[in-house]
Amino acid sequence: MDNRRAGSAMLGKRLPHVVVVGAGFGGLETAKRLAGAPARLTLIDKHNYHVFQPLLYQVAIAGLVPSQIAYPVRTIFRGQKHFDFQMGEVSEVNLAERYLRLNGSVIAYDYLVLAAGGRTNFFGLASAEQNAFELKSVETAVAARNHLLRMFEVASREADAEKRRELLTFVIAGGGPTGVETAGALAELIRLVLARDYPQLDLSDVRVVLLEAADHVMGSYPQGLREATLRLLRRKNVEVLFGSRLTDYNGRQVTLASGEIIPSQTLIWTAGVRANALMDRLGVEQASMGRVRVESTLQLPGHPGVFVIGDAAYVEDDQGAPLPMLATVAQQQARLAAANIRRLLHGDVPRPFRYRDPGLLATIGRNAAVARIWGLSFSGFPAWVIWVALHIFRLIGFRNRLVVLINWAWDYFFYDTQVRLITRE
C-alpha cells in the first residue's frame, strides 16, 4: 500500500481511526499532538498511568513514591475530543487485516502508532533474569525498594559478620546512566540516611559495587564526562569494577567471568534494554535489540499507515549509528509521527525524521552530576542544579512537580528521604 492509499481513509464519511499503543514518552506525545486532527483516537496501555521512567531509580532508593512520578492517562487527556483510552495489554497486531487484539476483543485501525517501548535485556542470562531486580516499572522499582530496606532490617539482627557483609553488599550491573545514577543515589542513601536509622550497623560492612564490562562508565558520554563520573562515584564510595562481565547470579553470590565471586543478596540489573516482546510477534524485519526497522518517515516498510517509534524502533543517525533508547528520541519521533499522520489525512507526503540531540545529563547523587549541553561539557554542582530543574519541569502535573520539589528540598536540607516503607508485595 502506498502513501496515497494510506491517506484514503479520510475520503470516507466516518472519521479515520488512529490507534496508539503505549502511553509512555512516545505514545503520550503522539496522542497529545493529534488533538484536533480529523480522526478518532484510541490510546492503549497496560497501565492506567504514564510513568516518568528516568526517576524510577528514585523510587527504588526510597526517595520518591510511585504516585509522584506517574500520572493517570485519563486525567492527562481530559477534554480532548474524539479521544478514548483503553487499559489492557495488546497481545497481537494483524498488519495485513489492520486490527489488533486487546483484552479478548478486536480493535480495527486506519493508522497505528506502535510506541510499546522496551524491556530489560538480560542477554540470555537466565540466572540474572530470575534473581536480579530491574528498574523498568513502578512494580519492579517498589520491589527493589522493599528488598534494599529489608536487607538493612535483616542485617541489623545478624550476628555473623560474613552473613552481614553479604546482606549489605549491593551490586549494580551496568555502568550506563541508570546504573551510575542508582549506584550514586544508593551509596548516598546508605551514608546519609540509613547510617542514622541503623546506628548499630558498622558502615564498613556496606559495599555498593558497580560492574561494568568495558573499561569506562557512561559509554555514550564524552571522555571528560566519563572521567568526571568516575571521580564522583568514587567520592561517594561506590566501588567500580571495570572489565567485569557477570556470568551467574544465584541470589546469594555474583560470579564474574574472571572467576571472582562477590557474595551479595542484591543484584540490580541495568545493563541493557531490548524492544518490547510485541515487536517479535509482528513478523517484520528487526535490527539490533529486537527494534523494528522503519523508513526515515518512521513508517513500517510496506505498511504506510503504521508508525513505530521510541525504544521499539530502529532508526539510524546521519553517521549510520542507531539512535539511543532515550525519552528525547521517543518524544521527537512522536511529534513527527503525529505530523505525518496529519499529512496522510490531508493527502500530503510524510517527512523524514531528523534527531536534534538536546545533550546529555546524569546525576551521581547530591550536588553531583555530569552534563553536555550546547556542546559544552561540565560537571559538579551546576550540572546537578540543571538536572534537578529539568527533571522537575519534565514531570507531568503541577502537583507532582511541587511535591517532588518540596521532597527534594527537604532531603537536601535535612538529609532525610521521606519514604522508607517496607510494604507487602
Ligand X SMILES: Cc1cc2nc3c(=O)[nH]c(=O)nc-3n(C[C@H](O)[C@H](O)[C@H](O)COP(=O)(O)OP(=O)(O)OC[C@H]3O[C@@H](n4cnc5c(N)ncnc54)[C@H](O)[C@@H]3O)c2cc1C
Active-site residue set:
181
**Residues of the shown chain interacting with ligand X in the complex, contacts defined by CB under 6 A:** 21-27, 44-47, 53-54, 56-57, 89-90, 115-117, 135-136, 177-178, 276, 278, 310-312, 325-328, 330
Minimum distance, C-beta of residue 211 to ligand X, in the bound complex (Å): 17
**Comparison of 39 and 172: residue with beta carbon closer to ligand X:** 172
Q: Do 239 and 207 meet the contact criterion of CB atoms below 8 Å apart?
A: yes
Q: Minimal distance in Å, beta carbon 232 to ligand X?
A: 16
User: Least distance in Å: CB of 45 to ligand X?
Assistant: 4
Cα Rg, the chain, nearest whole Å: 23
* Nearer Cβ to ligand X (238/371): 371
Residues 6+ apart with CB under 8 A from 128: 122, 173, 246, 248, 249, 267, 269
Q: Where are the beta strands (DSSP E) in 58-98?
A: 70-72, 83-87, 90-94
131 Rama class: left (phi>0) / alpha (psi -120 to 50) / beta: alpha
Interatomic CA distance for residues 174 and 215, integer angstroms: 12
What is the rounded CA–CA span in Å between residue 186 and residue 238? 9
Please state the closest distance from residue 222 (CB atom) to ligand X, in A: 17
Provide the sign of the torsion angle of the four alpha carbons 390, 396, 401, 403, taken in this order: negative
β-partners of residue 172 are: 210, 268
Residue nearest to ligand X (CB): 24
Question: CA dihedral in degrees (230, 231, 237, 239; nearest 10)?
Answer: 30
First to last CA, the chain: 48
Sequence letter at residue 5? R
Nearer to ligand X, 25 or 314 (CB): 25
Using alpha carbons only, give the angle 109, 115, 116 rounded to the nearest 5 degrees.
105
Instruction: In angstroms, give the least distance from the CB of 51 to ligand X.
Output: 6
Min dist. Cβ of residue 355 to ligand X (A): 12
Looking at beta carbons only, is 393 or 413 nearer to ligand X?
Answer: 393
Cα 226 to Cα 278: distance, rounded to the nearest angstrom: 35
CB nearer ligand X, residue 237 or residue 328: 328
Q: For the chain, percent helix, then strand, then coil, each to nearest 5?
A: 40, 25, 35
If the CB atoms of residues 117 and 175 are measured against ligand X, the closer one turns out to be: 117
